[in-house]
Structure 1
Amino acid sequence: MTHSTTTPVALAMWDFSWLERRWPGAGYEDWEQALDELTDRGYDTVRIDAYPHLVAAGPYREWELVPVWNQQMWGAPAPVRVRVLPALIAFLTAARRHGVAVILSSWFREDVEDTRMWIRSPQDLAGIWVETLRHLDQAGLLDTVLFVDLCNEFPLDIWAPFLYSDPSIRRIAPGEPGRRYAARSTPEVAVWMRSAIDGVRTVHPDLDLTFSVSTELATWPDQEVGFLDVLEVHVWMANSESGDYDRRVGYHQPRFSDEGYRRLARHGREEYERDRLRHDEALFTMIDTMADWSRAVGKPLYTSECWSLVDYKDWPGLEWDWILDLNARAVEYAAGTGRWAGMATSNFCGPQFVGMWREVEWHRRLTRAITSATLDADLADTVPSRDVGGETVAARADGHVRGSGLRV
């Protein structure tokens, strides 16, 4: 697949599934096949967990990971054993062969020793990433990395529990695990983010760095993001910040109970179709809000988790057609803003989501829409670019400015 330097990238989020879902039938047991299917659908970039805390603590040792949930299709529903660095090098090497760029992130998966809690400062966070990138540099694989997201959906404590061991953060966000939130608009969190970014940038000044986010989207004017190279925002219709879909359905993202999916099967589609204009407006208004943020700060947008529901899967009573329709309209709308240098078609864009993955023509149509979109002229010198296997995976503007208009 040939990548033009004027095209945004089409993303797929393979999170920690790329490593943890490798039993027969889990979707990633054969990386060559998975990457073949990915590129056949028109995708040229994946976002994966690099497990930097485990690479830094023991790159070649075997780690036992505990499940973060058993109801979702991301990762393993039971404990698994992994050796991170050899797998990471092998996967990036395979991605290069397929002309696929990689966004490195981390969900900071819990192992039986809870190694992630060794991170006590932003300098520690920077240090584990520097060590991980050193290994990839030694393997000659840094050219496959489009950018690095230092922590998924920062500062949610499900992914960044280590943040809340810092006394300065505990003072502003007391409470039990799962009930803590320290806003990015606070000086304490902003300093944490900037210090971690600076620590990695000192060693890798040419590598683009960010923290992905899924909260405080509507209050972006209150946040300092000058130290981020790109904005990696996760946007859904079901995000409670923009609408009330989950509340109306009664879905509360239970991690170890199927009650949430039984509620989605009973009420999910019915609620959306009953008040479609309301729910669509919540999504499309948030897309406009993110485009406004990008224009205000002059940074390109990437979205690897999106657009309809946060959680979905192949399950009795759950149908994919209405999810496909809403996601398609969101992709086309977001692409028309001229602000997205890369986006996914959903956060179910992986082989384990059989009902969506098998819709090959749907994927091809939308990845064409993504990669044929034109970026606003001001983004020409701000988007990352990597040469992967002799093909440039990049997002560059050609000077044409696109506007937007609400289509629901």
Structure 2
Amino acid sequence: MTIHAGRARAITMWDFSWLERRWPGAGYEDWDVALAELAERGYDTVRIDAYPHLIDVDPQRTWTLPPLWTQMSWGAQSTIRIQILPQLLDFLRACARHGIGVALSSWFRRDVDDVRMRLDTPQRLAEAWISTLDAIDDAGLLDAIVYVDLCNEFPMPVWSPFVYGTDEAESIGVDHPRIGRWMRESIEIVRAAYPGLDYTFSFSDELDKMVAGDVSAFDLVEPHLWMAGVTDYYDLIGYNYERFDPVGFDNVVARGLEVYRADQSRFDGAILDAIDTIADWSRRVGKPVATTECWSIIDYKDWPGLEWDWVKELNEKAVVHAASTGRWTAIATSNFCGPQFVEMWRDIEYHRRLTDVILSAPIDEDLR
């Protein structure tokens, strides 16, 4: 498969949830059920964590992972034990049964030994990905892969601490020459081993830095875009990405909807303008766009006092706008399109309406 398919893909992010949320009621305990429901909603691609750093050390070890957070609904909210192979291969086979393509990424989850810190050069990052692709290729499943995102939201320290030596460093912008070298060199090494795949690093940075990054080695760009990320919305409601403290979501409950409705045209306009900025960047660099985390609020969940209607409304406006640009070849409807987000997931008609827009989106001639 390839991202350059002459049509847009309806993609969703299942991150590390596909493997870590398999207890009864967590949403992914039966992959065939979850994937059948995904296809029913009109999606044809899923982006997941392949855990390349763990595969590179020992793919069949049972790894112990502390929780990344307790307040968000992605992954597990307590310590969990997982094995990467053969589960990754089994999941790819399940995707194939349901006609779902797979984009590989990694959030580089910390295990109790923190082996991700071994990936302290572009060469070592590339080697971990080559080990992962070798395992997939040996199983005859390479055709299932749509593209490879070498690191989620690079170079944020929470996801790529090996660049800094710690996950508490101040982030370097994607426009920094050192980051450009990391991206270019690691992609070139992986591409030499697997030239038939498409490669990128996903970004979640200030827009001006994002569009100034060196993407010369990329086959596509993957910006993550939210209204809450391109405005002062979170400052106004008092949300600071509290991963282990409920105060952040308490503030979203108390002020989130009120603040949005009070200045809705400004907030809506900001995400639509950001989409236009990315479309212009795509035209300038000649790369297609995939967005798998988007469009309204960054963190949300089923919770007392949290309403989904406004989130869904803004997501729909953004999907329609992105689809109209001719630059997106993979579009998500939000980063809440998974079975653990029950209120969002059960609105099948909503998903079908948006995926119909995505799957019929025009693609500019230079990207076909």
TM-score interval (norm. to shorter): over 0.9
**Match of residue 367, structure 2, among 379, 392, 396:** 379
Q: Unpaired segments of 5 or more residues in structure 1?
A: 166-175, 381-408
1:192-241 CA deviation, whole Å, 9 max, x = no partner? Answer: 111111110110111111100010323345321111110011000000xx
RMSD: 1.2
The 1-side partners of 2:175 and 2:352 are apart by 39
Q: How does 1:64-213 map to 2 (within 5 A)?
A: 64-165=64-165, 177-213=167-203
Q: Which residue of 2 aligns with 1:236?
A: 226
Pair 1:18 & 2:18 matched:
yes
Q: 1:348 corresponds to which letter in structure 2?
A: F
TM-score for both structures, normalised by structure 1: 0.88
Pair 1:308 & 2:296 matched:
yes
Shift in alpha-carbon separation, 1:123–1:260, aligned structure 2, 3 A: same
Q: Which residue of 1 aligns with 2:249?
A: 261
Q: Aligned with 1:311: secondary structure?
A: coil
The 2-side partners of 1:220 and 1:327 are apart by 21
Q: Which residue of 2 aligns with 1:215?
A: 205
| 8 A contact 1:11–1:44 mirrored in 2 | yes
Shift in alpha-carbon separation, 1:177–1:140, aligned structure 2, 3 A: closer
Give aligned pairs, total: 365
Q: Could you tell me how far 1:40 is from its partner in structure 2?
A: 0.2
Q: Aligned with 1:28: secondary structure?
A: coil
| 8 A contact 2:160–2:167 mirrored in 1 | no
Q: Which residue of 2 aligns with 1:345?
A: 333
Q: Unpaired segments of 5 or more residues in structure 2?
A: none
Q: 2:194 corresponds to which letter in structure 1?
A: H
Q: Aligned with 1:222: secondary structure?
A: coil
Pair 1:282 & 2:270 matched:
yes
Q: 2:28 corresponds to which letter in structure 1?
A: Y
Q: Aligned with 1:158: secondary structure?
A: coil
| 8 A contact 2:191–2:197 mirrored in 1 | yes
| 8 A contact 1:218–1:289 mirrored in 2 | no
Pair 1:273 & 2:261 matched:
yes
Over the matched positions of the two proteins, sequence identity in percent amounts to: 54
TM-score for both structures, normalised by structure 2: 0.97
Q: Could you tell me how far 1:5 is from its partner in structure 2?
A: 5.2
| 8 A contact 2:174–2:180 mirrored in 1 | yes
Q: Aligned with 2:10: secondary structure?
A: strand
The 2-side partners of 1:177 and 1:203 are apart by 30
Q: 1:132 corresponds to which letter in structure 2?
A: T
Q: 1:68 corresponds to which letter in structure 2?
A: L
Q: Could you tell me how far 1:179 is from its partner in structure 2?
A: 4.2
Q: 2:299 corresponds to which letter in structure 1?
A: D
Shift in alpha-carbon separation, 1:236–1:90, aligned structure 2, 3 A: same
